[in-house]
Amino acid sequence: MISDVTFGFGEAEPGLAAMRELVGQGFLDAAAPDSHAKARALIDEARQGAARPRHINLGTPRGQQMAIMCAGAPAGQGHIVLYARDLRPLTGLQQQLVEALQTVERDYGRLRQTETRYRLLFQMSGEPVLLADAATLAITETNLAADRLIGALPGSVRDLPALFEASSEERLAALLGQARAAGRAEEIALRLRGRMRDALVSASLVRQDSQHLFLLRIATGEAPVLRLSEAQARLAAFLQVAPDAIVVAGADGRVLGANQAFLSLAEMTAMAQVEGEPLARFLGRQEVELEVLLANLRLRGPVRLLQTVVRGALGGEARVELSASEIPGVDQPLYGFALRDIGPRLAPSANGSAHGMTPSNLAELVGRVPLKELVRDATDVIEKLAIEAALELSSDNRALAAEMLGLSRQSLYVKLRRFGIGDLGRDANDNEEEG
């Protein structure tokens, strides 16, 4: 039976005043059901001598629950003194800890679910995405599309520079520098190793613990489908079936697109056979002609009605009339070419030009003119046509025309005088300057 309750210091009394209501009540009756056994063991042990401390929960008549750490000792005359310490502050800390642990567990569960969703999205992305160490540029993680891309490249790829051609090294460094300074970098065209076309690459800087990583997205697929107006769609459909050949090439002279008429001239059956191929493989008598044409497009603008030839893959050759212009509104220089086959319109003429030289004309001259003179005249006509074509392609740049024909400048000037081509006074002035 509890006979008295006292407190070790006055500050604790207001919070423990309900303990005084236990006077006259049995100690075992005041103990909570889960503490009955510990309370009985404490009383029995205290009768025999000092009792070790036990955690006991007491209930007051007001319905309050109080946790105490209680020890006991005999006090004589059948009394027992119980020493107790209020555990409510510790209980409060324990409750806060439990709530904090539960909050952490809930947050960790949500974070784990979020990470799972984003990792699934990372792996299912159709575009190659990869992570690389910002310090060493070593590739640390890739998605499935990036794995397929790297697996298709020649050799072993372990870091970012090995993923791209050497010609793209400076642009890659600029891209990563911008991402390191601003946190992200806009798309830039880089050439993947072993590929014929550029890919659009964007980069972002992310932090993981104390490590910085570059997140790179590589757009290697086809260009996104543009929404065209009805008039533009009709125009695009016409260009595909136009009787004149249409071809688009990049600044490097490689074919990016063409219609069916160009495939017919090039003696190809599918767009995949010409895409990425050098246009000089098909256009012009010599590869240098396309270089001169692109230079004129860049410096002087559109070219109109230039006569040249298209060489087919099977050895065929078609004489065409070419017009070309730079395509506006694109980030990188692109050039469009329109080619019209003029072979059927070339009819023989009666003047002594090359177009008038036919087998029937030669047959009439046989027996009247010696063979040496026939061969000499035919050679002269061919030389004159070749010189005129070279001057036309080079925009009357005679040094470039001589290079195209494989002649020295002096030899070209001699032939110009011989055939009466161009301004002979200008040739004399050029020779005096060279002298």
pLDDT in the model for residue 356: 46
pLDDT in the model for residue 222: 47
Q: Is the pLDDT of residue 360 over 60?
A: no
Q: Which residues contact 72 (CB under 8 A, 6 or more apart)?
A: 42, 43, 45, 46, 50, 51, 80, 81, 82, 83
Query: What CATH number is associated with residue 274?
Result: 3.30.450.20
Answer yes or no: do 407 and 423 share one domain.
Answer: yes
Choose the final residue of a domain: 318, 346, 374.
346
Mean pLDDT of 30-47: 85
Answer yes or no: do 151 and 74 share one domain.
Answer: no
Answer yes or no: do 313 and 417 share one domain.
Answer: no
pLDDT tier at 353 (50, 70, 90 boundaries)? very low
SS3 track for 289-322: HHHHHHHHHHHHCCEEEEEEEEECCCCCEEEEEE
Residue 251: inside a domain: yes
Choose the final residue of a domain: 346, 363, 385.
346
Between 347 and 319, the more confident residue is: 319
State how many domains the chain has. 4
pLDDT tier at 344 (50, 70, 90 boundaries)? low
pLDDT tier at 366 (50, 70, 90 boundaries)? low
pLDDT in the model for residue 350: 37
Answer yes or no: do 250 and 322 share one domain.
Answer: yes
Where is average pLDDT lowest: 5-14, 133-142, 288-297? 5-14
Q: For residues 266 and 312, is the Cβ–Cβ distance under 8 A? A: yes
Answer yes or no: do 341 and 367 share one domain.
Answer: no
pLDDT in the model for residue 284: 79
Mean pLDDT of 105-109: 89
Q: Which range marks the domain in which residue 406 is found?
A: 348-435
Residue 106: inside a domain: no
pLDDT in the model for residue 358: 52
Pairing of strands 198-208, 184-191: antiparallel
Q: For residues 4 and 81, is the Cβ–Cβ distance under 8 A? A: no
pLDDT in the model for residue 33: 83
Where is average pLDDT lowest: 205-219, 228-242, 402-416? 228-242
Q: For residues 229 and 210, is the Cβ–Cβ distance under 8 A? A: no
Choose the final residue of a domain: 321, 346, 371.
346
Mean pLDDT of 138-157: 79
Residue 119: inside a domain: no
Answer yes or no: do 49 and 77 share one domain.
Answer: yes
Answer yes or no: do 19 and 38 share one domain.
Answer: yes
Residue 118: inside a domain: no
Answer yes or no: do 200 and 271 share one domain.
Answer: no
Q: Is the pLDDT of residue 303 over 50?
A: yes
Percent of the chain scored above 90 by pLDDT? Answer: 1
Answer yes or no: do 208 and 182 share one domain.
Answer: yes
pLDDT tier at 224 (50, 70, 90 boundaries)? very low
Most confident of 10-14, 376-380, 390-394, 421-425: 390-394
Mean pLDDT of 81-93: 81
Residue 95: inside a domain: no
Residue 27: inside a domain: yes
pLDDT tens-place string over residues 41-74: 888 888 888 888 888 888 777 767 778 888 888 8
SS3 track for 5-69: CCCCCHHHHHHHHHHHHHCCCCHHHHECHHHHHHHHHHHHHHHHCCEEEEEEEEECCCCCEEEEE
Answer yes or no: do 235 and 305 share one domain.
Answer: yes
Indicate the average pLDDT of the chain.
Answer: 79
Answer yes or no: do 203 and 259 share one domain.
Answer: no
Amino acid identity for residue 391 in this structure: L
Answer yes or no: do 205 and 148 share one domain.
Answer: yes
Residue 380: inside a domain: yes
Q: Is the pLDDT of residue 226 over 60?
A: no
Residue 164: inside a domain: yes
The CA R_g of the chain, rounded to the nearest whole Å, is 47
pLDDT in the model for residue 351: 40
